[in-house]
Amino acid sequence: MTVTIPIPDIALTPGSTITIANLSWEDFETLLNDLGEKRNTRLSYYQGHLEIMSPLAIHERPHRIIAYIITTILEIQGRNWEDFGSTTLKRANVAGVEPDTCFYIAYAALVQGCTNLSLEKYPPPDLAIECDVTSRTTLKAYTAIKVPEVWVYQNHQLTVYILENDHYQTVENSLTFPNFPVTHLIPQLVQQAIKQGTRPMLQQLKQEIMNNE
């Protein structure tokens, strides 16, 4: 006898991942609607392959700290931004992914007032942040959606991926922050915030940036 359990009824333990093959785009869209927005799972879909991840609690803090660092630098630089968090990014019939957080910076003005993001109408975010993700499905989804820059923070290290000729290349210098050594700076600042507090870390960062201008 075959037992079928609806995906929304599957309880994932924190830190676990399940994969599903041969899932149609229509079923993926239905699943998104069934799961709703108030959940603690992250989904990535690419050409029929679905991964559902339930992050650990320790997964959440680094990406929030990184988001604070990003907005602090942008504020000092006088640059606009819009933070779209873990909004589902979709390219119909091909890919869907939910970043830990994502930012519009160069295109911030285009998405002002947007409450229902559609990549058929708007460009993809300039920058997406992922923590503890090594999945090929996730990076393939970002490639299909054409997010220009993806940061992956894992094991206290930051890897920067830049989209070039429809492939991601790992680089040392960020497109978004070319004058900052982010691959070295971000891990140090994340650990500093965890040990000393986020606010003191950001205050010190502001002071150092202003002193170097």
> How confident is the model at residue 37, as a pLDDT?
74
* Nearest Cα to Cα of residue 84 among 133, 138, 147, 163: 147
This prediction's pTM: 0.89
DSSP string, 175-198: SS-TTS-HHHHHHHHHHHHHHH-H
Fold classification of 57-212 (topology level): tt1808, chain A (3.90.1570)
Question: Any idea which residue has 């993001």 for tokens?
Answer: 117
> How confident is the model at residue 3, as a pLDDT?
33
Q: For 115, what's the count of Cα atoms within 13 Å in the CB-facing half-sphere?
A: 1
**How does pLDDT run along the chain (213 residues), one tens digit per residue?**
333 445 555 666 666 788 889 999 999 999 888 888 777 788 899 999 999 888 766 667 899 999 999 999 999 999 999 999 989 999 999 999 999 999 999 999 999 888 889 999 999 999 999 987 667 788 999 999 999 999 999 889 999 999 999 899 999 999 999 999 999 999 999 999 999 999 999 999 999 998 886
Cα–Cα distance measured from residue 16 to residue 140, given in angstroms and rounded to the nearest whole number: 20
Question: Any idea which residue has 């492939």 for tokens?
Answer: 167
Q: Which two tokens stand for residue 49?
A: 């392959």
> How confident is the model at residue 115, as a pLDDT?
83
